[in-house]
Structure 1
Amino acid sequence: MGRLSFLDKNVPEHIAIPIVVYQGYLLFTQNLTHPMASVAPHSQCLIETLPYDVLRGIFIHYVSAFLPPRNDNRAAKNAPITLSHVCSSWRNVTETTPILWRHLSYTFILLDEGAESGVHRFVILKRDLDFIRWWKEKQGAIHPFITARVSIPRQSTVSRDEFADHGAFEFILDYLMSAQYLDISSVFWDQIGDRKCPNLHTLLLCGKVHPLDITFVKTQAAISVSPSPQRRLYLSNGVFAQDSVIPSQPLSSLTHIVLEKVEIPLTIFYDLYQATPGLQWAYFDISPTERRHRNETKLTLTQLNTLIIISTCRAEYFFHNLHLPALETLSISSAVYDTWQEVTAILQIQWITRATPNLTTLALGERFVSLDTENEIFYLLAVPQFTDVQPIWINAPRLSHIQLDTPFFRSETTEPTSDKRIVRFFGRLARPLRNKWLGLDNSDCPIRTVTVVSPELEKVQDIALSVFREQDIRFDLEFSKISVAEEAWHAFNAWGSSF
């Protein structure tokens, strides 16, 4: 008999405890925005009763995980300073512990003096320059984690007298190049020239970057001297031109890559695979500009362990002639079939698993597992007429976990899902789970857990218990708030913010 469980995982487990501590701190101070206004000079602040390690943990967690919105310049600039002045005890801790100032989230106000001539020449506000110098002093020789944004005002709104000279901006760029973690606007990256980033292990570029092949050349030059065993690149909202050329020098130093909302031809996507032989972790949220091109060159990525694909392109095009012997976690949310060809979808999944012989977790996203809104059954699983189908695990004998993420629980309507509809859904789900495609009733089946993603976890758990209590299932059936793809995304972001 299998086990029925509910996973309430909103946040990564490794930051769950600091959040509790942080929320407890909020209960103490009552006023985090202006703490000095609520603490009398000689009064006993409850914060002072907390151990040093707890104070340090709260500060680190606040600065790294609870940064203000990127467009809130004043809050982003003042939050760590304000927090450090809650009380004398807190101030002593933060002032004497440089590692606490390792993180910086900031929106620079820049003026482009060369905009009219087409030759960009940025200058920075004096007050912003003063803040960066102050931060650098507190941070000491520790290589920082920096998140920086650009806000370029019209010259009529800010007096030129409020800006520093151009040499001051060079100081800012040099400081950025000392970082080991950079989350910056592409306008900054365009200004670094031939500078090296000897400590950089993670680069996140946001904003329109075109063409992206030039970005790859700069990235390889910037991080090639880094001693870090992990090199991570994140690109968002970019476009690879049809004639883009991935650098002939392999990006062998890259271990993690994220392409989010990136337009890319499939030919360039295959070149990217070839240029990153050391890739261990990949997250592709892409829109192929050509959707029916197959890779004709056999390629093996020996170290790729986790692969997340979100796309409107058929999944088979991502795996043609590709061998991933080390891949353990695969999440696909893409169109693998045209109209409602369920059989074609299943055959394609079996074909994909031939490239991943050591796969242990397969997550099928909401674009992959379709739902009939009228009959409320899984199209992908409900193929009773196709009796000759082989179980999915035939090609992946180590497959132990299947996750299903359907649009049923991700409706954008403001109306809550009715209990009656949920009951009907679960009743119909029980039958497809016995489909030959999954082969869960087979005694040789290695699959031990099936997870259904349900953001409305609290609402469905009682209903699910009543529906499945009488079901004789041999596997563990879980209902989780977040998907494998979402969990991987949390892990990527949290890694960059850890100490």
Structure 2
Amino acid sequence: MLAKFKQRLHSRRSTAQKSAPVLSGIDFLPSEILGGEIFSLVVDEDILWHQTLLALASVCTQWRNIVHSTPFLWNQPIRINTLQLFSLGRFRRKRIAKKYFEALRMCLTRSAPLPVSIWVDSPTLIGDRKDFARTVDLISDAAVRIEVLRISSLHGDDGGVCILRVLERLPNGSLHALTEIDFRHLSSAALHPTVSFSLMNAPNLRRVKLSAGPHPLNSISIPWPQLTHLTLAAPPLACLAVLAKCSNLVSAVLHHVYTSFPDDTTPTSATLVHLTSLRLTISSTLIQAIGNLVLPALTALELIYDDADMIWPQLEVFRQLPLHNIQYLMIDLDREEVLDSATLCTLLRCTPSVTELKLTDCVYINNAFLNALRADGPRSKLLLPHLELFSIEWGSVLGTYFFDLKTLQAMLASRAAVGLRRFVYRGDYSEEVPVLAAYHADGLQVDVSVTIHILFLGLVMHPEARRNAQQETSKYQREDYLEMGTLSPSYLFFVPDFLFHPALNKASSSSSTRCVRP
């Protein structure tokens, strides 16, 4: 018996010795594979990427050299924010601020010659003058490589415009890499008509995000014809005037800004042959202004209700848009009771080509609307006859729904027979959700994910409520990750284990749980 064991052990050792040259430790891998493949997996999409690089560089001399000499690892968005320096003392703040900007410059140096993204937050613009001067010098030195520039200024200062003027005065070709600039948060004082700046020296600029406030945009010079994506917050006629200049625009996001004085901008008309996606604030004046444009390629329309005082426009207002060509329609009502099922069905009948419908925060979806979506009659009389994807997100109030599960299942069954391929539900947990997640129809994919919101009163739950919360949480964690596999962890708020510690479970019979809005 012992002889057989030794013989088998000897055969295994010989096999391991033969395969040893094939195996290689991580310290024997080439620097190109370590820096370009393995290290990038650790650093990519990491918020604390600089700490990750520090940990990698602390392993050994070889790894430190690889980290310092690989520009790809340092090519992360650089956010300039001096907010934490305000709480320090005068002399300590001066020393740390100097090291802070030296570290930022080091990151820019080690990421060369790759393009970079720089974000400038508001505290940097209103803080110490030396910090602002260092920020301007940093941006000026890296202007040739800046690909994305974001400036946030919410306190009525002109620091953001100063940075734009610095970019304006750079030599031609200095902003060759700039493709996107975001100054949506520039204060209205900074965009006063007396303030002007130009970005005509950016030949590759394609994306602009601008919040102009109630002021006109006559003092801003931007190469509008070369833009492909635009986000604009301005008065309706100002939005129309800007859109008329963007002849190559592909997508646009427009927000209505109210003015206390009459807008003397002359309405203009133009044809945007490339505009395929449009996101609008639900406003009668804004929609009527956009109605002056000819949009033959528009196929995606998003309607956002972001003002509680806004009145839902009449159907004639929406008909000024090319609704017959819309294939993707999204309606976000921000959980406001401004639209009933009959009005919604009337609007949807004007969009017969819709293949994807997404209803967000439409909390009053009821059985009447679901019955209107059923495919019981001839296809020519169906509501949205080409619907393939239907999505409901946050269609409840505190977990209360205005439709029952049987009506929803009947609608899905009838729609699956005429082309519905996927139904997506996102929202609060309810007793019907497990049944809906288990629903199956031929050719239909049901994607369900929920959020469990628990409010602790007195930091301790009632024992019975605590057990129910634990069961539901563990149940959904198991089902979502093992069976559905479609739920992101960010959608769930699980009950912390430390709240179930015996020391916290003393005399809390009056505590309770209830669902709350996110």
Q: TM-score range by the shorter chain?
A: 0.5 to 0.7
1:194 matches 2:193: no
Point out the more displaced range, 330-339 or 311-320: 330-339
Deviation at 1:254, TM superposition (A): 1.2
Matching residue's letter, 2:381: N
Deviation at 1:280, TM superposition (A): 1.0
Deviation at 1:301, TM superposition (A): 0.7
Point out the more displaced range, 315-324 or 208-217: 208-217
Matching residue's letter, 2:357: I
* TM-score calculated relative to the size of structure 2: 0.57
CA–CA separation in structure 2 for the residues paired with 1:216 and 1:276 = 22
Question: Which of 257, 260, 265 pairs up with 1:287?
Answer: 257
SS at match of 1:258: strand
Match of 2:151 in 1: 184
Contact 2:42/2:52 (8 A) holds in 1 = no
Match of 2:270 in 1: 299
Deviation at 1:308, TM superposition (A): 0.8
Contact 1:370/1:378 (8 A) holds in 2 = no
Matches within 5 A, 1:236-275: 236=211, 238-241=212-215, 243-245=216-218, 251-259=224-232, 262=233, 264-275=234-245
Deviation at 1:273, TM superposition (A): 0.9
CA–CA separation in structure 1 for the residues paired with 2:114 and 2:35 = 24
Match of 2:71 in 1: 98
Deviation at 1:313, TM superposition (A): 4.4
Matching residue's letter, 2:363: F
Matches within 5 A, 1:144-223: 144-151=116-123, 169-185=136-152, 187-191=159-163, 192=166, 193-195=168-170, 196-205=174-183, 206-210=185-189, 212=191, 218-223=197-202
CA–CA separation in structure 1 for the residues paired with 2:148 and 2:275 = 22
Contact 2:36/2:72 (8 A) holds in 1 = no
1:309 matches 2:287: no
Deviation at 1:252, TM superposition (A): 0.9
Question: Which of 305, 327, 349 pairs up with 2:318?
Answer: 349
Deviation at 1:326, TM superposition (A): 1.4
CA–CA separation in structure 2 for the residues paired with 1:332 and 1:392 = 15
Question: Greater Rg, structure 1 or structure 2?
Answer: 2
Deviation at 1:132, TM superposition (A): 2.6
Match of 2:393 in 1: 454
CA–CA separation in structure 1 for the residues paired with 2:275 and 2:358 = 20
Deviations 1:40-77 (A, max 9, x none): xxxx9xxx999962431331211xxx36xxxxxxxx9x
Deviation at 1:350, TM superposition (A): 3.6
Aligned CA distance change for structure 1 residues 258 and 464 (closer, same or farther; 3 Å): farther
Match of 2:423 in 1: 478
Match of 1:21 in 2: none
Question: Which of 337, 343, 348 pairs up with 1:380?
Answer: 343
CA–CA separation in structure 2 for the residues paired with 1:406 and 1:283 = 19
Match of 1:365 in 2: 332
Matches within 5 A, 1:62-77: 62=46, 66=47
Deviations 1:333-353 (A, max 9, x none): 249999988xx7344334422
Matching residue's letter, 2:322: T
Aligned CA distance change for structure 1 residues 208 and 432 (closer, same or farther; 3 Å): same
Contact 1:313/1:335 (8 A) holds in 2 = no
Contact 2:105/2:138 (8 A) holds in 1 = no
CA–CA separation in structure 1 for the residues paired with 2:311 and 2:150 = 41
CA–CA separation in structure 1 for the residues paired with 2:315 and 2:103 = 57
Deviation at 1:101, TM superposition (A): 1.2
Deviation at 1:268, TM superposition (A): 1.3
SS at match of 1:300: coil
Aligned CA distance change for structure 1 residues 257 and 272 (closer, same or farther; 3 Å): same
Contact 2:118/2:149 (8 A) holds in 1 = yes
Aligned CA distance change for structure 1 residues 338 and 102 (closer, same or farther; 3 Å): closer
Matching residue's letter, 2:291: H
Structure 2 spans left out of the alignment, 5+ residues: 1-26, 84-95, 154-158, 428-518
CA–CA separation in structure 2 for the residues paired with 1:313 and 1:444 = 25
Question: Which of 372, 375, 380 pairs up with 1:432?
Answer: 372
CA–CA separation in structure 2 for the residues paired with 1:317 and 1:164 = 46
SS at match of 1:103: coil
Match of 2:488 in 1: none
Deviations 1:139-187 (A, max 9, x none): 12112122232535999xx8x9xx6896895354222453111123352
CA–CA separation in structure 1 for the residues paired with 2:42 and 2:209 = 28
Match of 1:332 in 2: 303
SS at match of 2:410: coil
Aligned CA distance change for structure 1 residues 339 and 246 (closer, same or farther; 3 Å): closer
Deviation at 1:460, TM superposition (A): 9.7
Deviations 1:252-287 (A, max 9, x none): 12111123xx3x222211111112111111112332
Match of 2:349 in 1: 391
Deviations 1:341-378 (A, max 9, x none): 8xx73443344225xx5422122221699567xxxx52
Structure 1 spans left out of the alignment, 5+ residues: 1-43, 68-75, 111-123, 384-388, 410-424, 483-499
Matches within 5 A, 1:405-444: 405-408=360-363, 426-433=366-373, 442=381
Matching residue's letter, 2:206: R
SS at match of 1:447: coil
Point out the more displaced range, 283-292 or 48-57: 48-57
Contact 2:274/2:297 (8 A) holds in 1 = yes
CA–CA separation in structure 1 for the residues paired with 2:255 and 2:333 = 14
Matching residue's letter, 1:408: V
Contact 2:357/2:390 (8 A) holds in 1 = yes
Matching residue's letter, 1:345: Q
CA–CA separation in structure 1 for the residues paired with 2:78 and 2:54 = 14
Match of 1:276 in 2: 246
Matching residue's letter, 2:386: I
CA–CA separation in structure 2 for the residues paired with 1:353 and 1:184 = 35
Deviation at 1:331, TM superposition (A): 0.6
CA–CA separation in structure 2 for the residues paired with 1:51 and 1:188 = 36
Aligned CA distance change for structure 1 residues 172 and 439 (closer, same or farther; 3 Å): farther
CA–CA separation in structure 1 for the residues paired with 2:329 and 2:78 = 36
Deviation at 1:232, TM superposition (A): 0.7
Aligned CA distance change for structure 1 residues 337 and 129 (closer, same or farther; 3 Å): closer
Contact 1:85/1:91 (8 A) holds in 2 = yes
Aligned CA distance change for structure 1 residues 52 and 431 (closer, same or farther; 3 Å): same
CA–CA separation in structure 2 for the residues paired with 1:339 and 1:181 = 34
Matching residue's letter, 2:186: G
Match of 1:133 in 2: 105
What RMSD over aligned residues (CA atoms) do the two structures have, in Å? 4.9
Match of 1:233 in 2: 208
Deviation at 1:99, TM superposition (A): 1.6
Matching residue's letter, 1:381: L
